[in-house]
Chains A and B, each alone.
Chain A
Amino acid sequence: MVRYILKRVGYMLVTFYVVITLTFLSMKLLPGTPFKTANRLTPQQLNQLRHYYGLDQPIPVQYVHYLWNFIHGDLGGSFQYGMQPVTQFLLQRFPVSLELGVEAMIAGTILGILLGIVAGIYRARFLDWGTMTFSVIGISIPSFIFAGILQYAFAVNVQLFPVAGWSGPMSHVLPATSLAIGVLALVARFMRTEMVEVLNQDYIVTAQAKGLTTSAVVFRHAIRNALIPIITVIGPLTAAVVTGSLVVENIFAIPGIGSQFVDSIVTNDYPMIMGTTEVYAGMFIITIFIVDILYGVIDPRIRVSGGQTS
């Protein structure tokens, strides 16, 4: 197991390195300059600026320079924020997005799995139709619509929660809920499909033939097997949700990193593009790793021993 994990960590580092490299190179293909006033500058002034920021050096030199700084924890200064270090920016803001995302993921996943189980058991009956209608609505309507509705209902009409901001647990409720609805809907749909599938398996009939109660059949035999494919969906979804949502963070004025995924690219803020991509890739790689470990916990067939699957 230890060997397996070490091997996996090695692969993760390689993946991460490849992502950094590809992002760095493709970023250099972006048109335009980081300088807002570029069209009012003389070529000479522009050259001076480029020289100042080290952008006049050949790309391989910039690349090696970047890697060197990266290893030392320096992601450069953000062009948008007056050369504020990107590292500092991310360290301040990523935890906010992470917290919001984790809250939304926990709520959405747990409720989604529960709803999916219920819908799967009561297939083709009222509870199933109800849950699945809700699920389709949750998947098709973007989160900012829910955000608006929630704000209007629970912050303006009934003043239960603050309308925006990020201070204290109460302010987490509405943004986390609007993010969680999409997660919930998606997870519920997958879970329902898996439950229906699993409940049709022969081993469920075996369990019934033993005389077990319906709840014992569902809880002991069905759910665990239905969860295996769900984990595959939850992994990448977690990576996406915990790295922040542009829209929800904007609507609720939350100081996360969600907006930087777009802003940094629009403004050619090279160090910030690299920083946000690294956060996203890092989260993605880590969640995939956790998913793989979880597979082994849930499914004995893919449990690993000493680096080889049995």
Chain B
Amino acid sequence: MDNLLEIKDLNVRFNLFGAKVQAVRGVSLHLKKGETLAIVGESGSGKSVTSKAIMGLIPNPPGEITSGEILFEGHDLVHYSNKQMQKIRGKEISMIFQDPMTALNPTMKVGKQIMEGLIKHQKMSRQDAKKRAIELLRLVGIPKPEVRVNEYPHQFSGGMRQRVVIAIALACNPKILIADEPTTALDVTIQAQILDLMRELQKKTGTAIILITHDLGVVANLAQRVGVMYGGKLVETGTLEEIFYRPKHPYTWGLLSSMPKLHAKTDKLLAIPGSPPDLSDPPKGCPFAPRCPYAMKVCTEQMPEYTYLSDTQRTACWLLDKRAPKVEPPETIGVGGE
């Protein structure tokens, strides 16, 4: 098998006061060496929890992986002890976080924050680690790295801090880089820079990337494959092309429609009406059914199975059942810039 990472039927639950929230419900996906997989979905769809589960960073209590497997090079990380996971984190699988303003320790020099992983995983001496830290800062495009290495995070701008976060994540040449909304907290010009940087670094290092985002523009920029999550479930997955040009799930249609487009005839911004389901009492059927304009009776009663539309695309929707009425996707999904 050439899958670097394979997640099988992952279930994550948070046991809160008086409520058990099923944040991730039966997610299965895989990641090949060197590819970029985007996981998209709105807030609360379970995409961040999935990524935290891979890192073994779900706070327990209250969080708990109730079932499923996370196979990294064939080893199930779910059953790894914390000590075993410490050897994976930062070395094999790294993570970039959403908000660079809070992701760095304010009282520690950035150089030291980069060096920590090197000293721990690669048993480097402090001098070597510092040299490597300077190299990494140069690699992520920070000018005068030999000076900056001795500075504190507050002396860096937001975009520069995100570069530092990326340098920390890439320090030990991880096989997988999980980027949890890496550009959400940055302004648009900086976003483009960070995306360029990630693409360039991926070319250089061959790291596989899991990109967690709700920004389809970022997805189009970086990903080869896309998984769409909704209500803790992976409702559709496919190649970038398939998801953008031949989406089959009404939620994917909704996501694509709500993306602002340059050549749109109206200046109205489309939105998906309603709000995501309450996962402390998850719906029996398809989680999107209450907001779906095409929902049928069966949708609210039973979760649809996946329909395999190609080797790479699978969709969980009753509309793809033979007995369902034929529905054409709305024309508003058209991808901008075409």
Taking Cβ atoms with an 8 Å cutoff, the residues of A that contact B are 124, 201-203, 205-214, 216, 220-221, 224-225, 228, 298-301, 310
Interface flags, B75-119, vs A, CB<8A=1, else 0: 000000011011111110011010100111111100001001100
What is the minimal beta-carbon distance from B186 to any residue of chain A, in angstroms? Answer: 15
| With A206-B95, A221-B108 already in contact, 5 other A-B pairs whose C-beta atoms are closer than 8 Å | A205-B57, A209-B90, A210-B90, A212-B86, A300-B106
- The interface centre, meaning the residue of A201, A208, A214, A301 with most chain B CB atoms within 10 A of its CB, is A208
24 of the cross-chain contacts (CB-CB < 8 Å) are A124-B61, A202-B102, A203-B103, A203-B105, A205-B57, A205-B103, A206-B104, A206-B165, A206-B168, A209-B94, A209-B97, A210-B90, A210-B168, A211-B89, A211-B120, A211-B121, A212-B116, A213-B86, A216-B116, A300-B107, A300-B152, A300-B154, A301-B107, A310-B155
Interface flags, B237-256, vs A, CB<8A=1, else 0: 00000000000000000000
Closest residue on chain B to residue A207 by CB atoms = B105
Residue in contact with A206 in the complex, picked from B103, B107, B120, B154, CB distance below 8 Å: B103
CA distance A225 to B105 in the complex (A): 8
Chain A neighbourhood of B91, CB < 8 A? 211
Q: A211-B87, A301-B106 are in contact. Are A206 and B97 (CB under 8 A)?
A: yes
**Closest 8 CB pairs between A and B?**
A211-B90, A211-B89, A210-B90, A202-B102, A300-B152, A210-B117, A203-B105, A209-B95
Q: A206-B97, A220-B108, A300-B154 are in contact. Are A211 and B103 (CB under 8 A)?
A: no
CA distance A298 to B85 in the complex (A): 31
Q: A206-B104, A225-B105, A300-B154 are in contact. Are A211 and B57 (CB under 8 A)?
A: no
Q: A212-B116, A300-B154 are in contact. Are A206 and B105 (CB under 8 A)?
A: yes
Chain A neighbourhood of B88, CB < 8 A? 211
Chain A neighbourhood of B90, CB < 8 A? 209-212
Chain A neighbourhood of B171, CB < 8 A? 210
What is the minimal beta-carbon distance from A20 to any residue of chain B, in angstroms? Answer: 38
Closest residue on chain A to residue B152 by CB atoms = A300
A-B contact count (CB 8 A): 84
The reply to whether B57 and A220 form a contact with Cβ atoms under 8 Å apart is no
Residue in contact with B107 in the complex, picked from A208, A209, A211, A224, CB distance below 8 Å: A224
Closest residue on chain A to residue B82 by CB atoms = A214
Closest residue on chain A to residue B178 by CB atoms = A209
What is the minimal beta-carbon distance from A105 to any residue of chain B, in angstroms? Answer: 24
CA distance A208 to B57 in the complex (A): 8
Q: Contact residue range for chain B? A: 35 or more
The reply to whether B89 and A208 form a contact with Cβ atoms under 8 Å apart is yes
Closest residue on chain B to residue A223 by CB atoms = B107
Residue in contact with B89 in the complex, picked from A210, A224, A310, CB distance below 8 Å: A210
CA distance A224 to B105 in the complex (A): 10
- The interface centre, meaning the residue of B57, B95, B116, B117 with most chain A CB atoms within 10 A of its CB, is B116
The answer to the question of B209 belonging to the interface, with a C-beta cut-off of 8 Å to chain A, is no
The reply to whether B152 and A301 form a contact with Cβ atoms under 8 Å apart is yes
What is the minimal beta-carbon distance from A303 to any residue of chain B, in angstroms? Answer: 9
What is the minimal beta-carbon distance from A215 to any residue of chain B, in angstroms? Answer: 11
The answer to the question of B228 belonging to the interface, with a C-beta cut-off of 8 Å to chain A, is no
The answer to the question of B55 belonging to the interface, with a C-beta cut-off of 8 Å to chain A, is yes
Closest residue on chain B to residue A208 by CB atoms = B57
- The interface centre, meaning the residue of B99, B104, B107, B117 with most chain A CB atoms within 10 A of its CB, is B107
Residue in contact with B117 in the complex, picked from A211, A214, A299, A300, CB distance below 8 Å: A211
The reply to whether A210 and B116 form a contact with Cβ atoms under 8 Å apart is yes
The reply to whether A203 and B104 form a contact with Cβ atoms under 8 Å apart is yes
Interface flags, B170-199, vs A, CB<8A=1, else 0: 010000000000000000000000000000
What is the minimal beta-carbon distance from A257 to any residue of chain B, in angstroms? Answer: 38
The reply to whether B55 and A209 form a contact with Cβ atoms under 8 Å apart is yes
CA distance A225 to B108 in the complex (A): 10
Chain A neighbourhood of B117, CB < 8 A? 210-212
Closest residue on chain B to residue A125 by CB atoms = B61
What is the minimal beta-carbon distance from A194 to any residue of chain B, in angstroms? Answer: 13
What is the minimal beta-carbon distance from A80 to any residue of chain B, in angstroms? Answer: 50
The reply to whether A299 and B86 form a contact with Cβ atoms under 8 Å apart is no
Chain A neighbourhood of B83, CB < 8 A? 213
What is the minimal beta-carbon distance from B16 to any residue of chain A, in angstroms? Answer: 13
What is the minimal beta-carbon distance from B304 to any residue of chain A, in angstroms? Answer: 35
CA distance A300 to B155 in the complex (A): 10
Chain A neighbourhood of B57, CB < 8 A? 205, 208-209
What is the minimal beta-carbon distance from A295 to any residue of chain B, in angstroms? Answer: 11
CA distance A200 to B308 in the complex (A): 41
What is the minimal beta-carbon distance from B93 to any residue of chain A, in angstroms? Answer: 9
Closest residue on chain A to residue B95 by CB atoms = A209
CA distance A220 to B321 in the complex (A): 56
CA distance A300 to B150 in the complex (A): 12
Chain A neighbourhood of B106, CB < 8 A? 203, 225, 299-301
The reply to whether A212 and B120 form a contact with Cβ atoms under 8 Å apart is yes
The reply to whether B120 and A210 form a contact with Cβ atoms under 8 Å apart is yes
CA distance A225 to B165 in the complex (A): 19
Chain A neighbourhood of B97, CB < 8 A? 202, 205-206, 209
Chain B neighbourhood of A301, CB < 8 A? 106-107, 152, 154
> Which positions 37-62 of chain B face chain A at CB distance < 8 Å?
55, 57, 61
What is the minimal beta-carbon distance from B156 to any residue of chain A, in angstroms? Answer: 12
Closest residue on chain B to residue A222 by CB atoms = B105
CA distance A287 to B55 in the complex (A): 45
What is the minimal beta-carbon distance from A21 to any residue of chain B, in angstroms? Answer: 40
What is the minimal beta-carbon distance from B153 to any residue of chain A, in angstroms? Answer: 9
Chain B neighbourhood of A209, CB < 8 A? 55, 57, 89-90, 94-95, 97, 169
Q: A208-B89, A211-B88 are in contact. Are A299 and B116 (CB under 8 A)?
A: no
The reply to whether B102 and A225 form a contact with Cβ atoms under 8 Å apart is no
CA distance A210 to B234 in the complex (A): 28
